[in-house]
Chains A and B, each alone.
Chain A
Amino acid sequence: MSQSTENRGTPLVELRDISISFGGIKAVDHVTVDLYPGEVVGLLGHNGAGKSTLIKCLSGAYQMDAGEIFINGDKAEIRNPRDARAYNIETIYQTLALADNLDAASNLFLGRELVTPAGFVDDARMEAETRKIMGRLNPNFRKFKDPVKALSGGQRQSVAIARAVYFNAKILIMDEPTAALGPHETQMVAELIQELKAQGLGIFLIEHDIHNVMKLCDRASVMKNGQLVGTVNVDEVTDEDILGMIILGKTPEGVSA
């Protein structure tokens, strides 16, 4: 599954030497990670290790204090979520970031509404598009008219995923996409990740479940206390190796990717 990273050309994303601190606490401390097309990179670590914070620098939710971001080898300026979207970076947040009072279509197109020639929002067309994509992602989805607060956890998750997938993402960030899901839905997300990967997307996957990491990821970058412990090729290590990295903060000998 994994290839040697040296001869794969330019990474899709390179986060180089990123630092960000909040009130004197270094949430992310000189971390460098990268991501290639068609690859899933797991980001692991305890709660508060800095995974979500690091990734929010890429999605534009936070502004890093120091460091550089390269997209396809070019330096990128990401100051806000709009900039990130312009680089085809889509994010599925742990909280899902849905407006509970709006329906699925309004959430899917939030910030990128389809409009009529007169400049009004085209609800009918947005709903039609939503039905199309949901038909592919979650064929059982029916509640197109209800506000998303009336949906189940899995349905809400599929709205959030549809939002990321619909706009032709090249880089996908998933923050614990299966944390609130049942086994069946988790399987659906796993299949989707495989499918998107086959389409050549690069995916950053924040995940706590080691089992999922071993199953879904090509490489894993482990963080502890805001610092990068190391990055390994998943099929060259065992569960215990990765757990050791998370808990002890030590990279096993000779497996660094």
Chain B
Amino acid sequence: MTKPPKASAPAKPSLFKTLEIDTRLLGMIGAFVVICLVFNIITDGRFLTARNLFNLSIQTVSVAIMATGMVFVIVTRHIDLSVGALLATCSAVMGVMQVQMLPGILGLGSPLIAPLAILGGLLAGALIGAFNGWLIGYQRIPAFIVTLGGLLVWRNVGWYMTDGQTLGPLDQNFLLLGGVEGTIGATGSWILGVLFSLAAIWAIWRARAAKIQHEFPVKPLWAEGALMAISVGAIMGFVAILNSYEVPIGRLKREFEARGEVLPEGYSEVYGLPISVLILIFVAIAMTVLARRTRLGRYIFATGGNPDAAELSGINTRMLTVKIFALMGFLCGLSAMVAQARLANHTNDIGTLDELRVIAAAVIGGTALAGGIGTIYGAILGAIIMQSLQSGMAMVGVDAPFQNIVVGALLVLAVWIDIQYRKRTGEKV
């Protein structure tokens, strides 16, 4: 929705303008590259390894999924402080169903356990989110208060449900969703990479065709070609990195032994795309389509830009608030699923301080707290930047308090840069 801000009548369009690439996006990618390079130098090349990038991607998923929902919340001038707590409650629902309830009914190891537990967790998230939205939209309680209360309430509902105990071991199928336990291997990853590349090319070509059909000005062909090349390069590059991370020999040995076989000499296997990362990619695509191509998305941004105008245009802004928070809750459930599977059990403190990470990811990604402006890809990039900083510092051996100090300072710095940027481009702050 945020289009690249245009300077007033430039004589000759710059390269980025011709390509119609968001300069803010470029700034974020630049920041990410700098972070990677700096840590790579400090760690003598350990940061930019396939292994670390693989871990980085699976660590980012949970916060990134929630950050996409937080974009809609902040765009409509609300805030959700309860996402970490909501994640804990959803995780508790899934944990209790998986470990205590369902095995007794369906029998241990039943293939129905994982889907039912997930369904329960997602439903819980969506319902609690909708309830928050009702309090905010229809009862007119500020979102800040509703979700500040929710932070305490849902954190402790989760605690109460599990008596504060760690729940595990989790269902085997469920663990596939966490990351390292569930990857689709080299061939599958390449196939998906090619499919995504084709989809990107098709999308760019189709957008151009639609413009030509309506006789709108289009980019020069070379610019379209360059965009396609960049998209394909990024997709295939990402797949190539994940496909070069080999499964450790010890782990392969264990797997073969478990099947009663012997590991052949010289055998190797790579992880490829983790299922959790695929989930994030699908969430990102779905949320982007929702934001840009549906009426709901249009109404979300219109309401953020001018709530009165939205109301006068016949948009039911109260119901819209319920939908936005229900979606946020649903995404908290999805994040709970990934986070719990990655950690291999439900713990009482799961998702602690996630509300701050999620809000920071959205804000670092360019979502304006004044409302009306924000992108899904920005929020995901924001989450990646924060996670890379955090794990980079952990690798270097920065003390835990300093890690948090840096992340906190980064949030303030990012908003400051954003304000300067908007001032320069004449946008409202």
Option from A60, A82, A98, A124 in Cβ contact (under 8 Å) with B306: A98
Shortest distance in angstroms between B179's beta carbon and chain A's nearest beta carbon? 32
Tell me the complex Cα distance, A119–B297, Å. Answer: 12
Q: Are B314 and A97 in contact (CB under 8 A)?
A: no
B14: CB under 8 A from chain A?
A: no
Q: Are A147 and B3 in contact (CB under 8 A)?
A: yes
Q: Are A125 and B306 in contact (CB under 8 A)?
A: no
Which of B43-51, B161-169, B211-219, B251-259 binds A? B211-219
B225: CB under 8 A from chain A?
A: no
Beta-carbon nearest neighbor of B4 in chain A: A145
Residue numbers in B under 8 Å from A88 (CB-CB): none
Which residues of B213-231 have CB atoms within 8 Å of chain A's CB atoms? 213-214, 216
Beta-carbon nearest neighbor of B20 in chain A: A145
Shortest distance in angstroms between B297's beta carbon and chain A's nearest beta carbon? 8
Q: Are B305 and A100 in contact (CB under 8 A)?
A: yes
B312: CB under 8 A from chain A?
A: yes
Residue numbers in A under 8 Å from B298 (CB-CB): 102, 106, 110, 113, 121
B302: CB under 8 A from chain A?
A: yes
Residue numbers in B under 8 Å from A127 (CB-CB): 214, 216
Option from A103, A111, A121, A128 in Cβ contact (under 8 Å) with B313: A111
Residue numbers in B under 8 Å from A102 (CB-CB): 1, 298, 301-302, 305
A80: CB under 8 A from chain B?
A: yes
Q: Are B308 and A100 in contact (CB under 8 A)?
A: no
Residue numbers in A under 8 Å from B312 (CB-CB): 59, 61, 81, 91, 93, 97
Query: Interface residues of B toward A: which range?
Result: 35 or more
A146: CB under 8 A from chain B?
A: yes
B407: CB under 8 A from chain A?
A: no
Option from B6, B315, B428 in Cβ contact (under 8 Å) with A100: B428
Q: Are B1 and A121 in contact (CB under 8 A)?
A: no
A120: CB under 8 A from chain B?
A: yes
Scoring B6, B308, B314, B372 by chain A CB atoms within 10 A of each residue's CB, the highest score goes to B314
Shortest distance in angstroms between B359's beta carbon and chain A's nearest beta carbon? 20
Beta-carbon nearest neighbor of B370 in chain A: A101
Shortest distance in angstroms between A193's beta carbon and chain B's nearest beta carbon? 21
Known: A110-B302, A115-B295, A124-B210. A85 touches B308 (CB 8 A): no
Option from B2, B3, B308, B315 in Cβ contact (under 8 Å) with A95: B308
Q: Are A146 and B294 in contact (CB under 8 A)?
A: no
Which residues of A78-100 have CB atoms within 8 Å of chain B's CB atoms? 80-82, 85, 91, 93, 95-100
Q: Are B313 and A119 in contact (CB under 8 A)?
A: no
Which residues of A49-91 have CB atoms within 8 Å of chain B's CB atoms? 59-61, 80-82, 85, 91
Binding site secondary structure of chain A? loop
Tell me the complex Cα distance, A138–B299, Å. Answer: 26
Tell me the complex Cα distance, A229–B302, Å. Answer: 39
Shortest distance in angstroms between B310's beta carbon and chain A's nearest beta carbon? 7
Shortest distance in angstroms between A93's beta carbon and chain B's nearest beta carbon? 7
A26: CB under 8 A from chain B?
A: no
Q: Are A110 and B310 in contact (CB under 8 A)?
A: yes
B22: CB under 8 A from chain A?
A: no
Tell me the complex Cα distance, A189–B372, Å. Answer: 30
Tell me the complex Cα distance, A123–B377, Å. Answer: 20
Q: Are B293 and A120 in contact (CB under 8 A)?
A: yes
Known: A97-B308, A97-B309, A128-B214. A110 touches B293 (CB 8 A): no
B373: CB under 8 A from chain A?
A: yes
Chain B positions 323 through 348: 1 when the CB is less than 8 Å from some CB of chain A, otherwise 0: 00000000000000000000000000
Tell me the complex Cα distance, A113–B299, Å. Answer: 10
Q: Are B314 and A124 in contact (CB under 8 A)?
A: no
Chain A positions 122 through 159: 1 when the CB is less than 8 Å from some CB of chain B, otherwise 0: 00110110000000000000000111011000000000
Beta-carbon nearest neighbor of A109 in chain B: B298
Option from A81, A85, A145 in Cβ contact (under 8 Å) with B311: A81
Interface residues of A (CB under 8 A from B): 59-61, 80-82, 85, 91, 93, 95-103, 106-107, 110-113, 115, 119-121, 124-125, 127-128, 145-147, 149-150
The 24 sampled A-B contact pairs (Cβ below 8 Å) are A59-B312, A60-B314, A80-B314, A81-B312, A81-B314, A82-B314, A85-B314, A93-B312, A95-B308, A97-B308, A98-B306, A99-B301, A99-B372, A101-B2, A101-B301, A101-B302, A103-B3, A110-B309, A111-B310, A119-B294, A121-B297, A124-B210, A146-B3, A146-B6
- Inter-chain pairs besides A106-B298, A111-B314, A127-B214, 7 sampled, C-beta below 8 Å: A97-B312, A99-B302, A99-B309, A100-B305, A100-B428, A110-B298, A149-B427
